[in-house]
Chain A
Amino acid sequence: MHVHNLPAEPFAAPRGADRGSSDRQPVVVARHVTKTYGRTRALTGVDLEVRAGEVLGLVGHNGAGKSTLMRVLAGLEACDEGTVTVGGRETSGEAGPRAAAFRGVRMAYQETSLCPDLTVAENIWVSSRHCLPRLRWRRAAGDAARRRLGEMFPGHGVTSGDRIEDLSLAQRQMVEIARASLVDRLDLLILDEPTESLGPDAARSLYDYVRGLTAGGVAVLLISHRIREILSVADRVAVLRDGAVIADRPAAGLGEHDVLTLMGAQVADRAGSEPAAAAAGEPADRPVMAELRGATGSGLHDVSVRVGAGEVVGLAGLAGQGQQEVLERLWRPARRDTRVHGSRAYVPGDRQRSGVLPLWTVAENLIVTAMRGIARHGLRRPAEERAAVGSWVERLSIRGGPDAAMTELSGGNQQKVIVARAFASTADLVLLDDPFRGVDVHTKTDLYQLIRHEAAQGRSVVWYSSENAEMAHCDRVYVFRAGRVVAELAGEEISEEQIIAVSFAESDGEQSHE
């Protein structure tokens, strides 16, 4: 490939010279693309054009076919029918990671494609070795990663010798995006939910970088559930529904409400969540279910949190400010400053790593926690288990039913199973570790209702979320910053604006972005 110019100036400097941004040539064109997996028709005939120098936003529910479409556009899988044209060349049947035609198409995955045991530089080599020198590649890859991370995410705190496993979720996501963008010739960059794990600052600087890329003639395909974000960044928005593109509009003049309607969502007003305000009135009367008293150490400084019975307590603030440490303490109360009465269940956010049991069916995944309570003398009771699974599958309308393999499900449905796993148990306290990242609006609405309903039955919920809007469903919210509780909001005080205000309140001095 074009390796000769690499050592001096590696990786995708925008090439404005040979491709004027005015002509807007299509980079990748999909025509009548279909794809079927077993019984599932993932794509039913997609027509999509991504043009040079534009940001195309792609939205759709989980299960609408986004992931499949991405894999086809990136050349990881061949389509069954239809054609994919890359840079004017038709690529019928040619697919797989080594397909030459797709070399200029790069993708950053939501659940990162990095090898956890390798360092950042080594991961760069894995995906970009064709444009690295054979000798001293480690230094070249490290330099490139450092430079790109610096451009994309100032203040990222990653060094090229860090092992991926030791990085936080947000840092891993940054490395993943940088990895995808590092190539000698970039035509199309696909970003799959790039900001789900990132804080607002990182998201902003990423989008600044994306605009720079498109100005240089690169096309960017952006997938996100954060519709406002898409509308503010994208030039065009395509809506995917049931495996086909059902709308393709310029982003200008489009509102969040319009997009949601196109996606087929019944837009649930958040004002409709009545119980939150009503229940918050008498926090003092509730018996205490769990408590942290002046907890200090491992990322926390003098944190006091109280959870009453039947209360939904939110942990808010920017990502990685100590919320997960609080959950960890409540899950494994080893220290004296933590007291938890009753049994606990945990809903992990990183579902691939700490949620899914990949060899099992939906039913087996769902019941694994509850089976302990159902069993007698260590022996399972299959009839009772089946009944419990059946009612949960129906209640959350989990697609595929109880006997589907877990890995056949879309991400949103997998998440439903994992949430059901916790609530199907008899646990008094349910801990939610930002579990609704990358879950479609419809599923989220169902799960919010579930949480309120279960709380009304007397269960306590501690809910960490990076999505501030979700906190409206809580009775009380603790806002974290740098391992401290900086505010406690209750009832009417809980609002996105308020949370953002307190999260940033102390930071105005140090972070001059605002």
Chain B
Amino acid sequence: MNIRALVARPWIWGFAAAVLVWLIIVIISGQGGGQTVSLALSLAPYLVVVGLGQMLVITAGPGNIDVSVAPIISLAGFVSVAVTASTGSAVVGILAGVGVGVVVALISTVAILGLSVPPIIATLAAGLIASSVTLSLANGFTAVPDAGLRQLLNVRPAGIPLLAVAVAGVTALVIVLLRRTIYGRSLIAVGQNRRAAERAGIPVARIIATTYLASGALAGLTGSLLAAYIAPSADLGTRYLLDSVAVVVIGGTLISGGRAVPVGVWGAALFFILLDGLVNLVGWSTAAQNLLKGGLVLLVLFLAGGGDRVAGTPSRFRRRPRPAAATTTTTGDNSHG
């Protein structure tokens, strides 16, 4: 693979930006960069897990987005800590958290498929239900996270967190899912052209349902782990709404669907975590941080809209396929990395 082929890979930019931010941090702080990387690797996996779920949803095509991930993370945090405390098993607690995510996603799915509610509204409504349950749970909540699980999440042999390795494994599984399984190929087909996928015999409704449930489960998993790592709170998941969408988009996944880039989620997540570190180092406020992040997402969408996205936009609005020269950017594999 030569340099040009590498540059054409959509996931490269997240990593490039992460390296750039890392270099700036090293220069400003004047300390060794190893510790910064280690810290970023221990925070990024949470964002990657929820981001992978969001990526699957966005890949399902125009209009698909899951805005219930943030409330799910908060709720799953409480539920998993409570269940762990009452059963004494962290595994059961995590499973309960995942289950909460699936239940909330089930509400969204029924609304989307059964009642034809637009996904953004359906997941918003399901998220509201989750938040109100969270609030009632948070009232007088006394259980503390499992110490064993917290220790496990903090294990860093040779500076590399165990969790990062595990989540890298999950990412690899998602890549295999998208490339090698019927579900993955069907999802990508649905995302490119839903009508064509339906006529090609793909059970569109089942694929969409599976995707939202997977996103809910992954958000639930994130919440369970995060609550053990930090502590359960009502706004545990708040920042993950914008961030999960942002890492997907910056990672090179097409916002219009049909192309998923799991590795890109990693690059973008590291970039975001390092950016947080840099902004804290410089001493900016949270408001300024969000301003910066929002601006970055818009910038990426603007840049992508100028090239890749337009050439690959499903043809509904185009009268003719683009001549060969214009489409070369989208001819590669649809699940890079």
Interface residues of A, Cβ cutoff 8 Å to B:
37-40, 42, 67-68, 71, 109, 111-113, 115-116, 344-346, 348, 352-361, 364, 368-369, 371-372, 375, 378-380, 382, 405-409, 414, 421, 425, 427
Known: A359-B258, A380-B181, A408-B327. A345 touches B201 (CB 8 A): yes
> B315 and A405: CB pair below 8 A?
no
Known: A115-B317, A359-B312. A375 touches B182 (CB 8 A): yes
> A116 and B316: CB pair below 8 A?
yes
Is B4 at the interface (CB under 8 A from chain A)? no
Chain B 306-337: CB-based contact to A (< 8 A → 1; otherwise 0): 00000011111111111111011011001000
Q: How far is the CA of A346 from the CA of B199 in the complex (A)?
A: 6
Main secondary structure of the interface of B (DSSP, over half): helix
Q: How far is the CA of A162 from the CA of B325 in the complex (A)?
A: 36
Known: A359-B334, A360-B192, A368-B200. A352 touches B315 (CB 8 A): yes
Residues of B within 8 A of A356 (CB): 193, 196, 315, 321
Additional pairs, 10, CB under 8 Å, beyond known A352-B315, A359-B314, A368-B202: A42-B323, A111-B320, A346-B201, A354-B199, A357-B196, A357-B258, A359-B259, A380-B185, A382-B180, A408-B327
> A407 and B258: CB pair below 8 A?
no
Residues of B within 8 A of A406 (CB): 321
Residues of B within 8 A of A364 (CB): 185, 334
> B331 and A361: CB pair below 8 A?
yes
Q: How far is the CB of B329 from chain A (nearest CB, A)?
A: 10
Which residues of B240-293 have CB atoms within 8 Å of chain A's CB atoms?
Answer: 254, 258-259
> B201 and A371: CB pair below 8 A?
no
In chain B, what residue has the closest Cβ to A70? B320
> A407 and B322: CB pair below 8 A?
yes
Is B189 at the interface (CB under 8 A from chain A)? yes
In chain A, what residue has the closest Cβ to B201? A369
Interface residues of B, Cβ cutoff 8 Å to A:
180-183, 185-186, 188-189, 192-193, 195-202, 254, 258-259, 312-325, 327-328, 330-331, 334
Of the A-B pairs whose beta carbons lie under 8 Å apart in the complex, a sample of 30, sorted by A's number, is A37-B324, A38-B325, A38-B328, A71-B320, A109-B319, A111-B320, A113-B319, A116-B316, A345-B201, A346-B199, A354-B195, A357-B258, A358-B312, A359-B312, A359-B334, A360-B334, A368-B189, A368-B200, A368-B202, A369-B200, A369-B201, A380-B180, A405-B324, A405-B331, A407-B322, A408-B321, A409-B321, A414-B321, A421-B200, A427-B201
> B192 and A353: CB pair below 8 A?
no
Contact residue among B259, B320, B322, B323 (Cβ-Cβ distance under 8 Å from A109): B320
Ordered nearest first, which 4 A-B pairs have the shortest CB separation?
A38-B324, A407-B321, A37-B323, A405-B331
Q: How far is the CA of A406 from the CA of B327 in the complex (A)?
A: 10
Residues of B within 8 A of A380 (CB): 180-182, 185
Residues of A within 8 A of B201 (CB): 344-346, 369, 372, 425, 427
Residues of B within 8 A of A71 (CB): 320
Residues of A within 8 A of B334 (CB): 359-360, 364
Residues of A within 8 A of B200 (CB): 346, 357, 368-369, 421
Q: How far is the CA of A348 from the CA of B200 in the complex (A)?
A: 9
Q: How far is the CB of A272 from chain B (nearest CB, A)?
A: 31
Q: How far is the CA of A380 from the CA of B259 in the complex (A)?
A: 18
Q: How far is the CA of A67 from the CA of B324 in the complex (A)?
A: 14
In chain B, what residue has the closest Cβ to A355? B196
> A408 and B185: CB pair below 8 A?
no
Interface centre among A71, A354, A359, A379, by most chain B C-beta atoms within 10 angstroms, is A359
Q: How far is the CB of A16 from chain B (nearest CB, A)?
A: 32
> B180 and A379: CB pair below 8 A?
yes
Q: How far is the CA of A112 from the CA of B317 in the complex (A)?
A: 9
Q: How far is the CA of A358 from the CA of B323 in the complex (A)?
A: 13
Known: A372-B182, A378-B182. A358 touches B199 (CB 8 A): no
Residues of A within 8 A of B185 (CB): 364, 368, 371, 380
Q: How far is the CA of A102 from the CA of B315 in the complex (A)?
A: 25
Q: How far is the CB of B322 from chain A (nearest CB, A)?
A: 6
> A354 and B196: CB pair below 8 A?
yes
In chain A, what residue has the closest Cβ to B197? A357
Residues of B within 8 A of A368 (CB): 185-186, 189, 197, 200, 202
Q: How far is the CA of A360 from the CA of B254 in the complex (A)?
A: 14
In chain B, what residue has the closest Cβ to A382? B180
Contact residue among B315, B319, B324, B327 (Cβ-Cβ distance under 8 Å from A39): B324
Q: How far is the CA of A250 from the CA of B309 in the complex (A)?
A: 46
> A357 and B316: CB pair below 8 A?
no
Residues of A within 8 A of B198 (CB): 354
Q: How far is the CA of A352 from the CA of B196 in the complex (A)?
A: 9
> B315 and A358: CB pair below 8 A?
yes
Residues of A within 8 A of B254 (CB): 359
In chain B, what residue has the closest Cβ to A406? B321
Residues of A within 8 A of B320 (CB): 67, 71, 109, 111
Residues of B within 8 A of A352 (CB): 315-316, 318
> B324 and A358: CB pair below 8 A?
no
Q: How far is the CA of A405 from the CA of B178 in the complex (A)?
A: 19
> B316 and A37: CB pair below 8 A?
no
In chain A, what residue has the closest Cβ to B203? A372
Q: How far is the CA of A71 from the CA of B326 in the complex (A)?
A: 15
Contact residue among A346, A357, A409 (Cβ-Cβ distance under 8 Å from B193): A357
> B319 and A112: CB pair below 8 A?
yes
Residues of B within 8 A of A378 (CB): 181-183
> A379 and B195: CB pair below 8 A?
no
